[in-house]
Amino acid sequence: MGAHAKKKPGARPQPRTPGARNAGSAQRARKARAAAPSTEAASKAEIARQLRAQLAALTGGLAPDDYLKAWWEWYLKLATQPPRQAQLAHSAYEKTLDSLQFMTRAAGGAPLAPGHEELGFTDAAWNVWPFNAYARAYGNWASWWKQALTPAAAAADPDLSRVNFTGRLLLEAASPANFLYTNPELLERTAAESGQNLIRGLKNWLEDAQRVARGGRVGGTEHFEVGKDVAVTPGKVVFRNRLIELLQYAPQTPDVYAEPILITPAWIMKYYILDLSPRNSLVRYLVEQGHTVFMISWKNPDAADRELGLDDYLQLGFLDALAEVRRLIPRQRVHAVGYCIGGTLLAIAAAALAGAGDEPFASLTLLAAQTDFSEPGELSVFITPNQVAMLEAMMHKSGVLESERMGAAFALLRSRDLLWGPAVDQYVRGERPKLNDLMAWNADGTRMPWRMHSEYLERLYLRNELARGEFTVKGEPVRLSALGAPLFVVGTETDHVAPWRSVYKLRSLTRSPDYTFLLTSGGHNAGIVSGPVHPKRRHRLLTWSNAAETLTPDEWLKRAPQREGSWWPAWQRWLIEHSSARREPARSVDAGGGPSATLEDAPGSYVRQYTRRGHVAPCRNRPGPLDDCG
Query: Which residues carry out catalysis?
Result: 340
H-assigned helices in 505-564:
553-559
The candidate with the shortest Cα–Cα distance to 518, out of 495, 539, 548, is 539
Contacts of residue 210, defined as CB under 8 A and 6 or more positions apart, other chains included, come to: 216
- CA 24, 27, 28, 29: dihedral to nearest 10 degrees? 120
Answer yes or no: are the C-beta atoms of 398 and 303 closer than 8 Å: yes
Environment class of 474 (CB within 10 Å of its CB; exposed 0-12, middle 13-18, buried 19+): exposed
Q: Give Cα separations from 135 to 101, 141, 378 (angstroms).
A: 14, 10, 28
Angle between helices 131-154 and 82-106 (to 10 degrees): 160
Three-state helix/strand/coil letters over 112-170: CCCCCHHHCCCCHHHHCCCHHHHHHHHHHHHHHHHHHHHHHHHCCCHHHHHHHHHHHHH
Range 249-284 burial, b when 16+ CB lie within 10 A, else e: bbbbeeebbbbbbbbbbbbbbbbbbbbbbeebbbbb
Strand partners, 294: 248, 262
C-alpha to C-alpha distances, 581 to 292, 576, 578, nearest whole angstrom: 15, 8, 9
Q: Is 244 exposed, middle or buried (0-12, 13-18, 19+ CB in 10 A)?
A: buried
Widest distance between CA atoms in the chain = 127
Q: CA quadruple 507, 508, 510, 513: dihedral positive or negative? A: positive
Task: Write out the H or E segment, with its range, that includes residue 236.
Answer: strand 235-240
CA angle 497, 427, 432 (to 5 degrees): 70
Q: 248 forms bridges with which residues in the sheet?
A: 236, 294
Closest CA to 258 of 321, 334, 324, 327: 334
Helix (H, G, I), strand (E, B) or coil at 364: strand
Pick from 541, 450, 455, 451: nearest CA to 504? 541
Q: Is 449 helix (H, G, I), strand (E, B) or coil?
A: strand
Measured distance CA(176)–CA(197) in Å, rounded: 19
Of the chain, the end-to-end C-alpha distance in Å amounts to 84
Would you say 509 and 481 are in contact if contact means Cβ atoms under 8 Å apart?
A: yes
The DSSP string of 558-623 is: HHSPEEES-SHHHHHHHHHHTS-S-EEEPPPTTTT-SGGGGSEETT-SGGG--EETTEEPPP-S--
